[in-house]
Amino acid sequence: MKRIFIRPELCAGCKTCELSCLVEHCAGSSLWTIDLGDAGNQPRNTVLAGPKGVPLPLTCRHCPEPACVDACPAGAMVRNEATGLVEHRNERCVGCWMCVMACPFGLVWPSAREQKSIKCDFCGERDNPACVESCPTGALSLVETDPAGGVKEITID
């Protein structure tokens, strides 16, 4: 199963991951044109200031036992057993924010555009998540995990 591996010690705090997430999720936009003045444009990841201001990049962990799935009363949060990804079924979401409150990492948010949650979708059809591809320092990388707990780095061209 593919996972995003985070090495906070490599993060420069440039927020390129946030921008590439925005570009990926706002149809027809580019790094040049994405509207940074529109609060409705929300990235699904974030770079927070960690202890002593050290940047801390965060992306959905797609937990094996996801708190958001347990908390969701509408069946909108689902763990895909084949991929291991935690998926948000937008049409079922009732906007009760249980998932928002339950996520221990704070990586599910209320959408600014509608009464629904938003979260990382691992960039859907894309081969690799945009945040990983765009990270200039290697703080975000892609790994393959196996049930025995092994982790193998995946090289992206």
Partner 1 sequence: MKKVCPSADEILSRFIVSKDDVETAFHRLSTQQPKCGFGLQGVCCRLCSNGPCRVTPKSPRGVCGADADTMVARNFLRAVAAGAACYLHVVENAAGSLQAAAASGKEIQGAAVLAELAGALDLPGSDARERAGHLAGQVMDDLYRPRQKQMALTEKLAYAPRLARWRELGIIPGGAKSEVFDALVKTSTNQSSDPVDMMLHALRLGIATGIYGLELTNLLNDVLLGEPKIAAGPVGFSVVDPDYINIMVTGHQHALIGPVQEGLAAPRAIDLARQAGARGFKIIGCTCVGQDLQSRGDQNGVFAGHAGNNFTSEALLATGGVDLVLSEFNCTLPGIEEVCRQYMVAQICLDDVAKKQNAGYLPFDPGAGEETARRVVEAAVESYRQRRGRIGINVPEHGYENSLAGLSERNLRAFLGGNYKPLIELIASGRVKGLAAIVGCSNLTAGGHDVFTAGLTRELIARDILVLSAGCTSGGLENLGFMSPEAAGWAGEKLRQVCRELNIPPVLNFGPCLGIGRLEMVAAGIAAALQVDLPQLPLVLSAPQWLEEQALADGAFGLALGLPLHLALPPFITGSKLVTRVLTEDMEKLTGGRVIVEGEIVPAAEQLEAVIMQRRAALGI
Say if CB 68 and CB 102 are below 8 A apart: yes
The residue among 46 and 66 lying less far from partner 1, judged by its C-beta, is 46
Per CB under 8 A, contacts with partner 1 among 15-34 are: 15-16, 18-20, 22-23, 31-34
Residue 100's alpha-carbon distances to 32, 42, 134, in angstroms, are: 31, 15, 27
**How many Å apart are CA 96 and CA 46, to the nearest integer?**
22
Per CB under 8 A, contacts with partner 1 among 35-74 are: 35-42
Say if CB 142 and CB 153 are below 8 A apart: yes
The residue among 32 and 148 lying less far from partner 1, judged by its C-beta, is 32
Say if CB 73 and CB 30 are below 8 A apart: no
Residue of 133, 139, 140, 141 interacting with partner 1 (CB under 8 A): 133
- Closest approach of partner 1 to the CB of residue 83, in Å: 26
Is 98 among the residues that bind partner 1 (CB under 8 A)?
no
Q: In this structure, which amino acid lies at residue 35? A: D
For partner 1, the binding residues (CB under 8 A) are: 14-16, 18-20, 22-23, 31-42, 133-134, 136
